[in-house]
């Protein structure tokens, strides 16, 4: 199986949640292709800074422009060993795209590793792949996980949860655990 | 029945979507109480400006601070003739609040008028009141409406949809139609 | 007389002060045409968020882009039953436009209803229509009202003042009273 | 006569229009005291960046915090050889302050040099000192100059106008001419 | 040797350049302590978004608040196997701190791995550890590298350079190569 | 000798540090030409607001767009009597430009007056003109001054330092002293 991973990006993806897995997984040695429907390699997606600054929910500021390194309409899900779904405000609208849904479903049907974080669970719910599975998600997305017949894992904000090949986490503070569990599911071994 | 209406607010509610119905309905002659869990009369919620500026989904900027005119823990749903649920990013987290869910369910159980717009549908879905009903919502929330066994009304961005006592619309361009249908459901008659 | 109303917009009009009357009056059943000199139907004006955040005067942030629904150079003042002048920073420069001044004067000469709020009084003062009239305005505009020989109405920030067909108010907290008085002057009757 | 100059500051004064004269005049050798009603030496006023970025009027962004170097309630107008009134959004509300108006009037009654720029003319109009005088101002303030029975000087955006001891200019591009004319009126001689 | 790494943070560190190595190295299995002089564990540093948006140099926007997980005055350099120096605007002022300089020098004297990126080279130059070494840096910092008698490595923006135990790179696009070379120098082995 | 002065500008120059000397020196009577490599007369540089708002180093916000009044590739250093180097983030990248370095060196070789403030010292260090000279600079630039074999003058934040024809200062609060010393070195005499 290939060492290529696919990352589903969109405008206003959370800035950390796209760049940290994109770069960390490359540092491990994987090839990671970041794509967005309707955009080509070299184009950018706008990112959002989601942070907690004293309000009842996260604030949003404008982040970096993230440059895609592959073209959505030229990739084939079959060529990838695993899928990464960052959070932020991108999953909300990406779930309306039939090809995006088909890509998500491919990885579950093929029993390949999938890592989703934060609002990434919105894509899993819309793809109807959560039935019978336990996953974490941004806590405010719990109702969506449950409407989609998934079991919501109540874990710490910096923890991750692995159910079979599905690795999920509540938000970017969980990146270290989430990435470590994902590379483990992908079969990597690290000795320090 | 009283002419009092209840409005459910939260941080990062969309700026237009809270202020236009709040003030327009008062201009008609209704009393409108805007409340937020955990906040008192006179405190404010932060608002968000959601607009389309060329990206694949809406942008967000910081809006006005909206001053609440009633205290969440002092109101009783029974005292209100109708409920207003604005959109933005507030419904996402308000749906985790059991009292908010109970308030939403009260209005449906009592068959009282409810007006929800944009992401307000997230609260309806979480309250499990959509089964057997047709509603509009922000288009990207359609999967949530359908996961909650509601029927999604495909209507123009400036149109509203009335199903019984439930009046819904896709986003703030629909305010005129949405408010007009809501006051009609509330029994108002206007002659110009 | 027609039920059409005309709204004078410009860049950096206050965001609430243009959208709330624009949409609320449509919810009542009026047709409202929002126009700006030099701009066509479908183009936008930039809006400003004016709020109080602890300084000695209002702060300004960037608001929504407001889409005009009519073209300034294609409308005729004679076709409208009433005029709406929002505040913000637009009236300051709109008062330099001779056609804008002529439009304002038309409504007074024809004794048709005019609603002005906040800095909208700057347009009334420049059009020299305040002599012998009492009006409200943003408090810091009082000197302009008085230089134009108008009488300044000292009223609460959420109150409005009707003098004949002229309905004025200090700022957006007064929208409910201001709109209610304006539709009353326009001849509307509402029964809840 | 003293070489001390007084500068009237307020929140959202234009950033350039307060700092350039404040520092340039000190570079010439004058002592300049910047004061704001209700604030003490060492406190700051918020400043605004007014610029032209493609809209029909100036845009506003947040500028530096400007530190006052004297306390409004401890200065006496009699102690100063000249007065400086910057523009921006401060003059609009400062004109409501009776002491500010009295200070402005003192300099005219004593026939001492006064330099006003941009919206500074709003203070001159409110102080009723423009009758029989010719002044420049931000072009959109022309109606206020004329309502106050002043003559508006139509000059280039980077030019200044001296009428007796009054030196005025349209906006910050005129600082060099405006400051040069002001120090000339103050009696300074410079040889390069 | 311990698997603990030390990261030197400060206000306006670049947002990606602190979070990506901090989390990626934890995903590998290292413990990473992020500290800032004058701040305690749990306090935050402000971060900056440095991006290229069409100007001759990078733009800056406000990023996340990054929470420190250790207290500067309670750590000992001797306890760490390696040092990480992110870029942004923090190194510029951190280089004035004698303890920071001593920490940097400790790692070089002990011949322990050091990873510096972008403006991190400013700290290396100020610590006078570059003589006889070749390093990369943000290109605009080349004169500082050379004034400090280092050799500047001209490499691609997404490449990294290893000279003995020192691993450097021009900016955040190089994170994958930079982190991979750093963990290699630290002795890690990864099999995918 | 001509009364023309040259000012070296670049994107994200500090807003005050370019406009105050540019306009103040013109108010004295000098001609000042502001140029930027790669840009023509009439084009603009972006400016940065550097201020202290409670963090360990300065914050940055977006300032005015500053319009250049001469074209870099059409000026000759020989035609100018003095050189002005503002601070901010422009000197960092301008020091990579060989022509900029040559211009700086010309003024020192010709023993003509040079005024540099804040990060302007980065250009002096890169031009290797500080050996044997004492200068002020933004305090965080002290290591660069010393790496370039200059002596760093420890002076108050609002003071300036003259060493021969070189006039330097730590940051914009020092503008009055810095400009006064510079015009003195240029030979000006002012009588108030």
- B70-116 pLDDT per residue, tens: 999 999 999 999 999 999 999 999 999 999 999 999 999 999 999 99
In the predicted structure, residue C2 carries a pLDDT above the cut 70: no
Flag if D30 and F192 touch (Cβ within 8 Å).
Answer: yes
**How far is it, in rounded angstroms, from Cα A124 to Cα A45?**
21
Interface test with chain E among F53, F144, F150, by most E beta carbons within 10 Å? F144
pLDDT of res. A43: 98
Q: Hey, is the C-beta of C184 within 8 angstroms of any chain B C-beta?
A: no
Mean model confidence pLDDT for chain E: 97
* Residues of C in Cβ contact (< 8 Å) with B179: 23-24, 27
* Model confidence band, residue C1 (pLDDT cutoffs 50, 70, 90): very low
Cβ distance B63 to C61 less than 8 Å, yes or no, reads: yes
At B103-148, the pLDDT tens digits run 999 999 999 999 999 999 999 999 999 999 999 999 999 999 999 9
The burial class, CB within 10 Å (0-12 / 13-18 / 19+), for C147 is buried
Whether residues D143 and C96 touch (CB distance < 8 A) is answered with: yes
Alpha carbon distance D51, D70 (integer Å):
29
**Cβ contacts of F10 on chain E, cutoff 8 Å:** 56-57
Q: Whole-angstrom distance between the N-terminal and C-terminal Cα of chain B?
A: 25
- CA angle C159/C163/C169 to nearest 5° reads 30
pLDDT over 70 percentage in chain B = 99
pLDDT reported for residue B1 = 45
Residue F181 confidence (pLDDT)? 98
Yes or no, beta carbons of C59 and D10 under 8 Å apart: no
- The pLDDT value given to residue E73: 98
d(CA D188, CA F190): 7
Check pLDDT > 90 for residue D175: yes
To the nearest 10 degrees (0 to 180), the angle between helices C15-28 and B175-185 is 50
Tell me the chain A residues in contact with residue B93 when contact means C-beta distances shorter than 8 Å: 56-57, 140
Q: Could you tell me the sign of the dihedral formed by the alpha carbons of F95, F100, F104, F105, in that order?
A: positive
How big is the CA angle at E135 (ends E133 and E136), to the nearest 5 degrees? Answer: 170
Residues E79-103, mean pLDDT to the nearest whole number: 98
Average pLDDT, integer, range F77-86: 98
Residues 164-183 of C with CB under 8 A from B: 172, 175-176, 179-180, 183
How far apart, in whole angstroms, are the C-alpha atoms of residue E82 and residue E93?
Answer: 22
User: Do F192 and D187 make contact, defined as CB atoms within 8 angstroms?
Assistant: yes
Confidence check: pLDDT of F1 > 50: no
Query: What is the distance between the alpha carbons of residues A158 and A174, in angstroms, rounded to a whole number?
Result: 4
C183-187 long-range CB contacts below 8 Å, 24 or more apart?
C183/B27, C183/B192, C183/C25, C183/C28, C185/C82, C185/C113, C186/B192, C186/C5, C186/C30, C186/C81, C186/C82, C186/C113, C187/B192
| DSSP tally for chain C: helices H, then strands E | 6, 12
| pLDDT of residue E1 exceeding 80 | no
> D190 and chain F: CB distance < 8 Å anywhere?
yes
Secondary element (H or E) of residue B93: helix B90-94
The pLDDT value given to residue D84: 98
- The rounded mean pLDDT for chain C is 97
Q: Which of F27, F49, F176 sits opposite D179 (nearest CB)?
A: F27
- Which residues contact residue A155 at a Cβ distance below 8 angstroms, ignoring those fewer than 6 apart? A136, A161, A169, A170
What percent of chain D has pLDDT above 90? 98
How many C/D residue pairs have CB atoms within 8 Å? Answer: 79
Segments in chain A below pLDDT 50: 1
Residues F133-154 have a mean pLDDT of 98
pLDDT of residue F158: 98
From chain E, pick out residues whose CB is under 8 angstroms from the CB of A26. Answer: 175-176, 180
Q: Environment class of residue C59 by beta-carbon count within 10 Å: exposed (0-12), middle (13-18) or buried (19+)?
A: buried
Nearest to F95 among E55, E90, E143 (CB): E143
* Other CB atoms within 10 A of residue B75 CB: 16
The dihedrals phi and psi of B149, each to the nearest 5 degrees, come to 65, 25
Q: Do B183 and C27 lie within an 8 Å CB cutoff?
A: yes
Counting CB pairs under 8 A, whether chains B and C reach 3 or more, is yes
Interface contact flag, B192 C186, Cβ < 8 Å: yes
Read off the pLDDT of each residue in B168-178 and give the average, rounded to a whole number: 98
Q: Contact C130/C104 with Cβ under 8 angstroms?
A: no
Residue in chain C closest to D142 (alpha carbons) equals C96
Find the mean pLDDT for residues C49-56.
97
- The mean pLDDT value of chain F amounts to 97
Residue A140 to residue B95, Cβ atoms within 8 A: yes
Interface test with F, best of E57, E91, E149 (most F CBs within 10 A): E57
F107 at interface of D, judged by CB pairs closer than 8 A: no
- Which of B30, B174, B192 is the mutation pick for testing C, counting most C CBs within 10 A? B192
Of the pLDDT bands very low, low, confident and very high (cuts 50, 70, 90), residue F42 is very high
């Amino acid at each position: 199986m290939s060492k290529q991973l696919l990352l589903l990006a969109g405008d206003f993806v959370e800035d950390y949640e796209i760049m940290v897995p994109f770069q960390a997984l490359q540092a491990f040695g994987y090839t990671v292709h970041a794509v967005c429907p309707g955009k080509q390699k070299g184009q950018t997606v706008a990112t959002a800074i989601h942070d907690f600054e004293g309000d009842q929910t996260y604030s949003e500021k404008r982040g970096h422009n993230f440059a895609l390194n592959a073209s959505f309409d030229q990739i084939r899900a079959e060529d990838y060993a695993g899928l990464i779904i960052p959070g932020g405000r991108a999953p909300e609208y990406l779930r309306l795209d039939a090809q995006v849904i088909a890509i998500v479903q491919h990885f579950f049907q093929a029993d390949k590793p999938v890592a989703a974080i934060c609002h990434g669970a919105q894509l899993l719910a819309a793809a109807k792949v959560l039935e019978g599975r336990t996953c974490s998600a941004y806590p405010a997305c719990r109702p969506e996980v449950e409407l989609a017949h998934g079991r919501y894992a109540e874990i710490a904000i910096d923890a991750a949860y692995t159910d079979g090949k599905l690795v999920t986490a509540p938000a970017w503070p969980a990146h270290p655990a989430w990435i470590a569990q994902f590379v483990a599911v992908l079969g990597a071994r690290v000795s320090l």
